[in-house]
């Protein structure tokens, strides 16, 4: 455990590991009751784990898919030798279709495919090096975002976050929680609030657990209590991650983010999005063009295995919502910070070396 917040920036949680030729995913469906890794050796298992939310969070999904390509290429090369590329398409399609909203998934697969096209002989060493580079670059980017975002928080700030945008959602350190970690270590933050995030309770199960593991005290609250907390003047910043950022700066993030942004604007609370440049999709013009995943009705009909809704009731269960760029005060990326993000600033970030 971290002894106190003044020694280092706490960061000990990891959602995924590559070890002994296999991919280990911390099964986030079991947290906080059990800490258990699933060890995968086949690409179909990786796609299924992404789909079933063993791993979640856009950056972590992208990294996981990159390692899935390594496993796919290994199996194809074992079967077909130099003709391994001809067999790779089906596995790549399965990985690509596992979660439609998180743009990092497609970004990581494109990067891995580019390496496949230039590789001769056994593809595993080169592809593994590329996947590990994606993983390491994500952690470095998160640490940079943590520094940049924390610089906006004045001494004595109080922050709220939604869903989980921490180490569990990334290669390590986190996006929104990276900012919170850095601000806490730098003594800028005095209070951290985590919204519960229904229906999967990522805030309650994951963010609260992750912050506790790293010795950062947090207060959990019901989603419906957030606006009143702002009305009482107890929040200075809302800090969230993103699953996709459109070319105009609109952001897709966990359902409930839009409501928090509206409440923040109404109460003079500043709103920050922290996400790597790989989350930006210049081919998506605005939030209305972002595909929004919908999940099974059972997630709302039951809680902890106990049915909580009447038989026959209709269910609408979108995973994400769209926060317009006009409601975002600060967008933090590893390449720099945009205040009041818009189309020109987003394009400049993507073009920066």
1/182: higher pLDDT: 182
pLDDT over 90 (residue 321): yes
Give the structural domain span for 53.
Answer: 16-139
**Same domain as 102, residue 193:** no
**Candidate ranges 121-125, 213-217, 236-240; pick with highest mean pLDDT:** 236-240
Query: What are all long-range contacts of 9-12, with beta carbons under 8 Å and residues at least 24 apart?
Result: 9/143, 9/146, 9/173, 9/181, 9/182, 9/185, 10/181, 10/184, 10/185, 10/214, 10/215, 10/216, 11/167, 11/172, 11/173, 11/181, 11/214, 12/213, 12/214
Number of domains in the chain: 2
Q: For 66-80, what is the mean pLDDT?
A: 95
**Same domain as 129, residue 197:** no
At residue 100, the pLDDT reads 80
- Kindly report, residue by residue over 129-148, the tens digit of the pLDDT: 999 999 999 999 999 999 99
- Kindly report, residue by residue over 28-62, the tens digit of the pLDDT: 999 999 999 999 999 999 999 999 999 999 899 99
Euclidean distance between CA atoms 274 and 289, whole angstroms: 21
Euclidean distance between CA atoms 139 and 170, whole angstroms: 8
- Kindly report, residue by residue over 270-291, the tens digit of the pLDDT: 999 999 999 999 999 999 999 9
Cis peptide before 199 (omega within 30 of 0): yes
Euclidean distance between CA atoms 274 and 280, whole angstroms: 11
pLDDT over 50 (residue 324): yes
At residue 8, the pLDDT reads 62
Q: For 242-247, what is the mean pLDDT?
A: 96
| CATH classification of the domain holding 117 | 1.20.120.420
Euclidean distance between CA atoms 201 and 178, whole angstroms: 20
What rounded mean pLDDT belongs to the chain?
A: 93
Structure confidence at residue 6 as a pLDDT band (50, 70, 90): very low
**Same domain as 220, residue 340:** yes
| Chain center to CA of 202 | 11
Q: For 80-102, what is the mean pLDDT?
A: 90
Euclidean distance between CA atoms 129 and 134, whole angstroms: 9
At residue 102, the pLDDT reads 74
pLDDT over 70 (residue 2): no
**Same domain as 273, residue 155:** yes
Domain boundary among 139, 169, 193: 139
- Kindly report, residue by residue over 283-319, the tens digit of the pLDDT: 999 999 999 999 999 999 998 889 999 999 999 999 9
pLDDT over 50 (residue 183): yes
pLDDT over 70 (residue 7): no
Phi-psi region of 197 (alpha: psi -120 to 50; beta: other; left: phi over 0): left
**Same domain as 288, residue 182:** yes
Cα–Cα separations (whole angstroms), residue 126 to 121, 254, 310: 10, 35, 54
Domain boundary among 110, 139, 168: 139
At residue 5, the pLDDT reads 37
Q: Which of 302, 301, 303, 323 is nearest to 314 (CA)?
A: 301
Structure confidence at residue 110 as a pLDDT band (50, 70, 90): very high
pLDDT over 50 (residue 3): no
Residue 1 belongs to a domain: no
And the tokens for 157?
A: 């700030």
| CATH classification of the domain holding 318 | 3.40.50.10470
**Same domain as 345, residue 220:** yes
At residue 117, the pLDDT reads 80
Has this prediction a pTM greater than 0.75? yes
Residue 196 belongs to a domain: yes
At residue 123, the pLDDT reads 94
Euclidean distance between CA atoms 79 and 271, whole angstroms: 51
**Same domain as 83, residue 59:** yes
**Same domain as 75, residue 158:** no
Asked if residues 317 and 242 have their Cβ atoms less than 8 Å apart, the reply is no
Q: For 3-26, what is the mean pLDDT?
A: 78
Q: Which residues are catalytic?
A: 243
Domain boundary among 139, 154, 181: 139
């Amino acid at each position: 455990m971290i002894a106190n917040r003044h020694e280092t920036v706490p960061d000990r949680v990891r959602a995924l590991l590559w070890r002994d030729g296999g991919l280990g995913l911390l099964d986030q469906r079991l947290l906080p009751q059990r800490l258990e890794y699933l060890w995968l050796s086949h690409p179909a298992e990786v796609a299924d784990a992404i789909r079933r939310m063993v791993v979640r969070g856009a950056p972590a999904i992208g990294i996981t898919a990159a390692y899935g390509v390594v496993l796919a290429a290994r199996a194809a090369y074992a079967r077909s030798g130099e003709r391994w590329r001809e067999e790779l398409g089906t596995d790549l399609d399965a990985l690509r279709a596992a979660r439609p909203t998180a743009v990092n998934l497609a970004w990581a697969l494109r990067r891995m495919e580019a390496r496949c096209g230039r590789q001769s002989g056994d593809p595993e060493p080169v592809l593994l090096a590329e996947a590990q580079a994606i993983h390491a670059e994500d952690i470095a980017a998160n640490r940079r975002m943590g520094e940049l975002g924390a610089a906006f928080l004045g001494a004595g700030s109080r922050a709220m976050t939604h869903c989980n945008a921490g180490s569990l959602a990334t290669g390590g350190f986190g996006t929104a929680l990276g900012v919170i970690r850095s601000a806490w270590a730098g003594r800028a933050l005095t209070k951290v609030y985590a919204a519960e995030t229904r229906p999967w309770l990522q805030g309650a199960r994951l963010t609260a657990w992750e912050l506790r593991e790293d010795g950062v005290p947090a207060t959990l609250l019901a989603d419906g209590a957030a606006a009143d907390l702002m009305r009482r003047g107890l929040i200075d910043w809302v800090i969230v991650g993103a699953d996709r950022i459109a070319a105009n700066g609109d952001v897709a993030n966990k359902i409930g983010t839009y409501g928090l942004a509206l409440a923040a604007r109404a109460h003079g609370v500043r709103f920050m999005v922290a996400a790597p440049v790989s989350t930006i999709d210049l081919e998506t013009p605005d939030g209305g063009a972002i595909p929004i995943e919908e999940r099974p009705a059972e997630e709302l009909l039951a809680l902890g295995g106990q049915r909580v809704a009447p038989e026959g009731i209709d269910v609408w269960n979108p995973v994400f919502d769209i926060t317009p760029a006009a409601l975002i005060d600060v967008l933090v990326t590893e390449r720099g910070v945009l205040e009041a993000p818009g189309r020109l600033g987003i394009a400049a970030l993507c073009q920066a070396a």
